[in-house]
Structure 1
Amino acid sequence: MGRQDGRCPTLDSADMASIEDAALESLTEVAPDILRIRVPLPFPPSEVSAWLLDGPDGWTLIDSGVDDAPTRALFTRVLAHPRLGGRPIAQLLVTHFHPDHVGLAGWLHARTGADIHMSRVEWMQARLLLREQPSEVIPQLVAHNRLCGAAKPFLDHLQGRGMLFPKWVGDLPRRYLRVTAGDELVLAGSRWRVMIGEGHAPEMICLYSAERRLLIAADQILSRISPHIGAHPSDPAADNLGLFLTSLGSFEALPEETRVLPSHGEPFVGLKARIGELKAHHAERLERLVDFCATPRTVMDTLEVLFRPLALEQIGFGLSEALAHLRHLVGTGALEQAEEDEAWRFVRR
């Protein structure tokens, strides 16, 4: 349920009662002075975790969910929840620019007065996407997916769907406070070191506490699924998969007993094993693509060996992920890329 024409839909009394129940159930303590908020999403993967960390001046809220009526109502209830002890939100920290993380940050800033803390690239990306014009973006998006080999029904779907980012992300203030790699933040009575994840997002903030052996991992390391690693129309030749695999190295150096708090899925222990699984997952997909591209293939062709049949609205994610893997293989020299009949084609060297 997103905004249409700049309006946020209203909720009836039954919806509000359901959201109040959800707010009471979604707020749980995962460690001393650290609360988890399970925020429902109107698209896969169905929910995102936001985190509240207590401090001397109030709470730090990490991430927010999207800007829609249910999420606003949920946070209205959460901010008044007895577990917060009547203490304010002192600062907002956004891990990266994706709508399920930054979407409600502007509304929360306006409601609480708390500054938004982000890395520079993520802040600039969010601000840019809110100001792009559909008349410029949609033709580029259609042209990019045509080069990927997408069929007319999906290209028509893109034109009718319009832009997703401003649908789920509210206006952001012009001011933010920059967070950089290596910064130390004092949250929940402990020191946390800022670590940067790449590939899924360009400069995603993760937080590690050596004292607590806790990692707030954002979308860098998830418990059950791999984060989406995609290639996008604005930078289609980028090797985002290579960036992701490389950036995993800094997390692999953390102690094995580290407890991971991911944005999607449950907290878990077993960091090195999970990183090994993520690397193996992508290695298997790369090997599958090299075999499949014994003859020239479009990006669309490769979906059949990477995914189960995708619904029309999911094809864009599939093409983005497939292209990221194909571009990585071009970079390693395993594949060649050419353009033929208005579509990119990839073939094994």
Structure 2
Amino acid sequence: MKPEIDYRFSELPEGGTTMRVAEGVYWLRMPLPFALDHINLWLLEDGEGWTIVDTGIGGEKTRTLWEGVFASTLGGRPVTRILVTHFHPDHIGQAGWLTQRWNAPLWITQAEWLYGRHQRAEDDGSREAVAQAFYSRAGVSEEQMPALLERVGRYRKGVEPIPAAYRRIFGGETIRIGNRGWQVIIGEGHCPEHACLACPEDRLLISGDIVLPRISPNVSLWPQEPDGDPLARYLGCLDRFRDLPADTLVLPSHDTPFTGLHERIAHLRQHHQHRLDLILADCAETPRTAIEVMNAMFTRKLDMMQLGFAIGEALAHLNRLLHDGKLARQTGPDGVDRYRTL
């Protein structure tokens, strides 16, 4: 644990139970069926009702836990708004069910709503074809390819049907929830248009997946935008938090609430710079494929789900260096891209 980061709560709420973290703000920890085994959701008192921030992954287990929360925490008051930070399954997975369960609107940014609807739609085969070409250029082996392509259709399994209508959230707007005004700060790079909620007066920040206390948020290149520069967008968006008070209590989507926002952002910047420097050194003498760069970045054994994220991370860093003119890329006779330091 880095000394600049102060974890404010020594105890965690049990799965499916809540803990008060500030006046009118409750922490709900829901289980996930992944190596990252939980997500933090937030219940905000909102006048005569409640606003829910993020929803958990789709499936009967999460719904059962939610029903327990409704019976215990809400105090007879209804859910009047479901606010989703971004389109990833652990965040938007139960949004469709919750909006129907409470006849409440979905609040989300436009890009996240569009992306979630797109990802959940039936694939005509084009998404898998694009993914196969993308991973082939990265140097993925024939043995690894089927598991990576299987991920293309996995989104639907963790996400209930996403509502066909929504209330659009805009960066810079202030959303009134109960007695607080929450400023919307848009995060990028981890996803297209992630909504974070800040209340500077009360020194609170719902950071979602943009700022996490121990792990670095996944910043990946994805098949549908192979020439993108998500790492530049991620590093750029971190500047939007610099005016928040130093003692802001950060409420992240994973791990535990903490203070030390600006120190943590500095650590994240250093982390990515270290990876960029490592890649430049690795590609200095011999041109490397994305898979080879990934193996230099991640020395531990990866399962197939982690493999997809790790390839995306490697490519995001490679593209950052390409856009910055520090690497060259050449496609070989085998159709695989190789990178060398300039």
- Shorter chain as denominator, the TM-score bin is over 0.9
| Count of matched residue pairs | 326
**Aligned match of 2:35:** 44
Counterpart of 2:104 (choices 114, 133, 148) is 114
Q: Percent identity?
A: 39
1:311 Cα deviation from its structure 2 partner: 2.1
Q: Is 2:321 the counterpart of 1:329?
A: yes
When normalised by structure 1's length, the TM-score is 0.91
Unmatched 5+ stretches in structure 1:
1-20
CA distance in 1, matches of 2:276, 2:148: 28
Q: Which residue of 2 aligns with 1:343?
A: 336
Partner deviation per Cα, 1:1-34 (whole Å, 9 max, x = no partner): xxxxxxxxxxxxxxxxxxxx843xx311111111
Match of 1:228 among 205, 211, 218: 218
**Retained in 2: the 8 A contact 1:34–1:188?**
no
Deviations along 1:219-251, one digit per CA (max 9) or x if unpaired, are 110010110000000001111000000110111
Amino acid at match of 2:231: L
Match of 2:120 among 130, 154, 159: 130
Contact 2:15 2:31 in 1 (8 A): no
Q: Which runs of 5+ in 2 are unaligned?
A: 1-13
Give the equivalent residue in structure 2 for 1:71: 62
Question: Following the alignment from structure 1 to structure 2, what is the Cα–Cα distance between the partners of residues 181 and 237?
Answer: 25
**For the Cα contact (< 8 Å) 1:221–1:275, is it kept in 2?**
yes
2:133 to 139, 143, 155: 143
Q: How far apart are the structure 1 equivalents of 2:107 and 2:67? A: 21
| Higher mean C-alpha displacement, 27-36 vs 125-134 | 125-134
1:312 aligns with 2:304: yes
CA drift at 1:139: 2.2
CA distance in 1, matches of 2:118, 2:34: 23
Output the CA distance in 1 between the equivalents of 2:46 and 2:80.
Answer: 8
| Cα distance in 2 between the residues matched to 1:300 and 1:134 | 28
Q: Compute the displacement of 1:182 (Å).
A: 1.2
Aligned to 2:48: 57
1:231-246 alignment, distance < 5 Å? 231-246=221-236
Q: Whole-Å Cα distance in 2 between the matches of residues 229 and 134 of structure 1?
A: 27
Superposed counterparts of 1:251-290, under 5 Å: 251-290=241-280
Runs of 4+ in 1 over 4 A off after TM superposition: 159-162
Q: Does 1:216 align with 2:209?
A: no
Change over 3 Å in CA distance of 1:161–1:259 after alignment to 2: closer
1:145 aligned partner, one-letter code: Y
**Contact conserved, 1:29 with 1:36, CA < 8 A, in 2?**
yes
Letter in 2 for 1:158: L
Deviation of the 1:205 alpha carbon: 0.3
Give the superposition deviation at 1:163: 0.9
Greater mean alpha carbon deviation, residues 295-304 or residues 225-234: 295-304
Distance 1:285 1:311, change over 3 A: same
Cα deviation digits, residues 116-137 of structure 1 (max 9, x gap): 0000111111111111415222
User: What CA RMSD, in Å, does the superposition of the two structures yield over aligned residues?
Assistant: 1.3
Match of 1:29 in 2: 20
Provide closer, same or farther for how the CA distance between residues 42 and 228 of structure 1 changes in structure 2, counting only shifts above 3 A: same
> What is the alpha-carbon distance in structure 1 between the residues aligned to residue 214 and residue 152 of structure 2?
31
Give TM-score scaled by structure 2 length.
Answer: 0.93
Residues in 1 aligned to 2:211 and 2:151: alpha-carbon distance in whole angstroms: 30
